[in-house]
């Protein structure tokens, strides 16, 4: 009995409320410590990397520095596109004490919608762009406000120093420094470079106390085959013609036929890539490679050269043109004039539809199709412009009975202007077609690596090519292309007037494409030039609309390139005969021959308008032309000046300069000091 008492006391002690509470508390503390330890283990070991990165993100800010985008130069290393530093404005909204007041101050300066800006402040608390790449004036005005929570970041903004010059070729660059069109898009990966980074470490108040910079890599430069001077000549004349004839648009291409180098590539309508967001509809399209059109009579080069090469025709062979009509597959095709017997050369010279169709029938569908492929009208030229089209050409198995007649004369086939230029350049280059190129070198800074000229491929034999040259020269000297005759240079080429397809899928009787393509000088061509005008109003024929533009561009370009003249300059003409229609009337009156031109059968007999004085002959005519009255300007003394100086001064004074010869000015008409109206043509003779 005595030994059982301690056990009873011990049990009672354990059952004491104080002891129980102590044990429960101890167990709770143990479990709490275990949970804390497990949580600490989870944070410090299992999720260590995650929380470390999160902490770094809170303390660090990575600013991406846009790289220096490569410069685009013309062939003479004049910059056409470059990148300049610009300010971008951003906000940290949670640092802005009064968002409404800030919005009220910023919106008018940056021309932003106040509600949109306030909505951004509410939606993004830690960062939001307000406006990127603002003007220097806008940046200065915002900085002067000294607003809390508003910050600036240096970025690179693309700048095109020549405005809209070669806009469709160059393209443009978006806010993210990526090219969106033209060469900027095609060579984006080459020119963009690699972005740099700046790592900023900040305290709790976002004050930077340390930065680490990782430099980027600048983009490579491009050197183009384009010549800024020739591009300006082409664009100015194209804009004038499009405006004069209220056309929907147009294209001019100038190419060196021996290398394939594109010297100029102009499109209308155009735009300013510095403000590309305001570009009119269709203005960003590069018509030289993206416009598919039916070429009309300019395509007769393919049909006739193929027949010559195949031995199915010769320049002197006579073809009966059946008094101007032919029936193919039950459909009658008419000529513009009821021709009888014509040689093959005269068929091309007079642009006879019937004669060309009969030559096409000799070739047959498959052989004609094969020659179209041989000239490359079924594929892209791969010039390096992303918007390039391949053209439209169906295989003979899908041709209708009338297709061979249509395609022989340039209807029923869709091509790009650049494809046609390549074809004519092949004839200019002795029958060898060169691959066109627009980029001549690439590289970092001054370390430029040339892009080699691709080897050409022979299209025509030397004999056939020489025959085609002579026949195309005949088109200019005595056929449909007479308005394209150059002063001091020989030229060869072809006019074209093609009907467009209307909304009902039929050929329109009101909408046409007027074109002229040729090369000069004939024996050693320096340039091939295409002028194509889309839907001119008031005149529709190639000789009226496009040939004079070819003449202007060719004469200016050859003089600019200092190409020696191969023909003596023509004597001065009287003012009343400098208008193309007047010269055409004189030729008809003196020769008694019908107008050798499908493209201008109506225009040939049209009297000169009484208000012909508004016509501006530019550099494409000879003689002093004073056809209108108005403000008088004093003619300066050009003696001793170069061709460029004369042209520049004439342009500044509102004169139309007409230059002949090479060297410096030695003679001029009107004489220095004469008072003449604006837009007067001033003839200046140059000599060495």
Q: What is the 3-state secondary structure (H, E, C) of 434-495?
A: CCCECEEEEEECCEEEECCCCCCEECCCHHHHHHHHHHHHHHHHHCCCHHHCCCCCCCEEEE
Q: Which residue has tokens 């470079």?
A: 193
Boundary (domain end) residue, out of 60, 87, 113:
60
In this structure, the answer to whether residues 89 and 157 fall within a common structural domain is: yes
In this structure, the answer to whether residues 91 and 133 fall within a common structural domain is: yes
pLDDT surpassing 60 at residue 215: yes
> What is the spatial distance between Cα 488 and Cα 397, in angstroms, rounded to a whole number?
48
CA–CA distance from 551 to each of 16, 262, 425, 470, 485 (Å)?
Answer: 120, 18, 17, 19, 7
pLDDT surpassing 80 at residue 248: yes
CA 507 to chain centre: 28
Flag whether 83 is in a domain: yes
In this structure, the answer to whether residues 102 and 218 fall within a common structural domain is: yes
Flag whether 76 is in a domain: yes
Residues 52-75: tens digit of each pLDDT: 777 766 666 666 667 888 999 999
Flag whether 582 is in a domain: no
Q: Which residue has tokens 């342009």?
A: 651
pLDDT recorded at residue 432: 96
Residues 547-560: tens digit of each pLDDT: 999 999 999 999 99
Is residue 154 very low, low, confident or very high in pLDDT (cuts 50, 70, 90)? Answer: confident
**Is-contact 379 388, C-beta < 8 A?**
no
Q: Which two tokens stand for residue 427?
A: 């004839």
What is the pLDDT averaged over residues 460-489? 95
In this structure, the answer to whether residues 56 and 86 fall within a common structural domain is: no
What is the pLDDT averaged over residues 203-229? 76
Most confident of 16-20, 102-106, 216-220, 306-310: 306-310
pLDDT recorded at residue 603: 34
Q: What is the DSSP letter of 262?
A: E
> How many domains, the chain?
2
In this structure, the answer to whether residues 55 and 129 fall within a common structural domain is: no
Q: Bridge-partner residues for 648, per DSSP?
A: none
Residues 564-598: tens digit of each pLDDT: 998 865 443 333 333 333 333 333 333 333 333 33
Q: Which residue has tokens 């972005």?
A: 195
What is the pLDDT averaged over residues 449-460? 92
pLDDT recorded at residue 358: 96
> What is the spatial distance between Cα 675 and Cα 633, in angstroms, rounded to a whole number?
5
Look up the CATH number of the domain holding residue 112.
3.90.1310.10
Average pLDDT of the chain is 83
pLDDT surpassing 70 at residue 240: yes
In this structure, the answer to whether residues 168 and 36 fall within a common structural domain is: no
In this structure, the answer to whether residues 72 and 219 fall within a common structural domain is: yes
What is the pLDDT averaged over residues 323-335? 91
In this structure, the answer to whether residues 79 and 219 fall within a common structural domain is: yes
Residues 611-635: tens digit of each pLDDT: 332 223 233 333 333 333 446 788 8
In this structure, the answer to whether residues 42 and 79 fall within a common structural domain is: no
- Of 43-47, 175-179, 201-205, 651-655, least confident by mean pLDDT is 201-205
**Is-contact 72 224, C-beta < 8 A?**
yes
Q: Which two tokens stand for residue 398?
A: 């899908």
In this structure, the answer to whether residues 30 and 177 fall within a common structural domain is: no
Cα 302-303-307 angle, rounded to 5 deg: 115
pLDDT recorded at residue 472: 97
In this structure, the answer to whether residues 72 and 46 fall within a common structural domain is: no
What is the pLDDT averaged over residues 260-271? 96
Boundary (domain end) residue, out of 60, 84, 113:
60
Flag whether 200 is in a domain: yes
Is residue 382 very low, low, confident or very high in pLDDT (cuts 50, 70, 90)? Answer: very high
pLDDT recorded at residue 210: 57
Flag whether 306 is in a domain: no
pLDDT recorded at residue 568: 66
594: three-class secondary structure by DSSP: coil
DSSP string computed for 168-225: HHH--B-TTS-B-SHHHHHTHHHHH-B-EEEEEEE-TT--EEEEEEE--BPPPEEEES
In this structure, the answer to whether residues 48 and 121 fall within a common structural domain is: no
Most confident of 14-23, 507-516, 551-560: 551-560
pLDDT recorded at residue 595: 33
Instruction: Domain of residue 70: give its range.
Output: 66-184+192-224
Flag whether 5 is in a domain: no
Is residue 518 very low, low, confident or very high in pLDDT (cuts 50, 70, 90)? Answer: very high
pLDDT recorded at residue 556: 95
pLDDT recorded at residue 138: 86
Flag whether 490 is in a domain: no
Q: Which two tokens stand for residue 75?
A: 């062939």
pLDDT recorded at residue 674: 81
Flag whether 282 is in a domain: no
Structure-model confidence comparison of residues 167 and 120, the more confident one: 167
């Amino acid at each position: 009995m005595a030994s059982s008492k301690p056990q009873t006391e011990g049990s009672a002690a354990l059952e004491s409320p104080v002891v129980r509470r102590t044990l429960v508390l101890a167990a709770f503390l143990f479990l709490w410590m275990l949970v804390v330890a497990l949580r600490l283990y989870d944070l410090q070991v299992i999720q260590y990397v995650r929380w470390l990165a999160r902490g770094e993100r809170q303390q660090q800010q990575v600013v991406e520095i846009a790289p220096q985008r490569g410069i685009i130069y013309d062939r003479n290393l004049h910059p056409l596109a470059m990148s300049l530093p610009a300010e971008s404005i951003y906000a940290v909204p949670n640092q802005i004490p009064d968002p409404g007041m800030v919005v009220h101050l910023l919106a008018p300066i940056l021309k932003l919608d106040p509600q949109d800006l306030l909505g951004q402040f509410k939606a993004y608390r830690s960062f939001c762009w307000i406006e990127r790449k603002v003007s220097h004036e806008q940046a200065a005005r915002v900085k002067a406000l000294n607003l809390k929570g508003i910050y600036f970041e240096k970025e690179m903004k693309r700048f095109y120093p020549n405005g809209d010059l070669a806009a469709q070729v160059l393209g443009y660059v978006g806010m993210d420094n990526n090219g969106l069109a033209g060469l900027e898009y095609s060579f984006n990966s080459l020119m963009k470079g690699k972005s740099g980074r700046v790592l900023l470490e900040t305290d709790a108040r976002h004050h930077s106390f340390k930065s680490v910079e990782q430099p980027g890599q600048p983009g490579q430069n491009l050197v183009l085959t384009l010549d800024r001077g020739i591009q300006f000549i082409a664009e100015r004349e194209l804009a004038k013609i499009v405006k004069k004839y209220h056309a929907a648009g147009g294209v001019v291409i100038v190419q060196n036929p021996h290398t394939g180098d594109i010297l100029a590539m102009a499109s209308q309508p155009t735009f300013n890539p510095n403000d590309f967001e305001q570009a009119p509809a269709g203005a960003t399209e590069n018509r030289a490679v993206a416009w598919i059109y039916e070429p009309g009579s300019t395509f007769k080069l393919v049909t006739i050269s193929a027949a010559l090469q195949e031995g199915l025709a010769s320049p002197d062979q006579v073809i009966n043109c059946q008094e101007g009509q032919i029936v193919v597959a039950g459909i009658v095709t008419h000529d513009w004039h009821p021709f009888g017997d014509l040689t093959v050369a005269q068929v091309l010279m007079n642009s006879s539809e019937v004669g060309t169709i009969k030559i096409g029938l000799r070739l047959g569908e498959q052989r004609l199709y094969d020659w179209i492929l041989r000239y490359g009208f079924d594929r892209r030229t791969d010039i390096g412009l992303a918007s390039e089209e391949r053209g439209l050409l169906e295989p003979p198995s899908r041709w209708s009975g009338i297709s061979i007649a249509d395609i022989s004369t340039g209807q029923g086939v869709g091509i790009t202007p650049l494809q046609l230029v390549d074809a004519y350049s092949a004839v200019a280059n002795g029958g060898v077609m060169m691959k066109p190129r627009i980029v001549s070198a690439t590289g970092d800074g001054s370390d430029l690596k040339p892009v080699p000229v691709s080897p050409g491929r022979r299209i025509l034999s030397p004999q056939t090519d020489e025959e085609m040259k002579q026949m195309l020269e005949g088109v200019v000297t005595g056929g449909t292309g007479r308005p394209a005759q150059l002063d001091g240079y020989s030229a060869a080429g072809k006019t074209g007037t093609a009907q467009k397809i209307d909304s009902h899928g039929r050929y329109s009787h009101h909408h046409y494409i007027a074109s002229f393509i040729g090369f000069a000088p004939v024996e050693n061509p320096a340039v091939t030039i295409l002028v194509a005008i889309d839907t001119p109003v008031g005149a529709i024929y190639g000789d009226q609309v496009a040939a004079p533009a070819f003449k202007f561009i060719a004469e200016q370009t050859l003089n600019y390139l200092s190409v020696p003249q191969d023909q003596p300059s023509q004597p001065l003409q009287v003012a009343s005969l400098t208008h193309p229609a007047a010269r055409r009337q004189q030729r008809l009156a003196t020769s008694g021959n019908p107008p050798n031109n499908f493209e201008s059968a109506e225009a040939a007999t049209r009297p000169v308008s009484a208000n012909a004085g508004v016509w501006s002959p530019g550099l494409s005519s000879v003689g002093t032309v004073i056809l209108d009255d108005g403000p008088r300007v004093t003619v300066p003394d050009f003696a001793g000046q170069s061709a460029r100086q004369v042209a520049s001064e004439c342009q500044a004074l509102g004169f139309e300069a007409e230059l002949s010869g090479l060297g410096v000015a030695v003679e001029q008409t009107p004489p220095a000091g004469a008072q003449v109206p604006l837009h007067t043509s001033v003839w200046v003779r140059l000599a060495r």
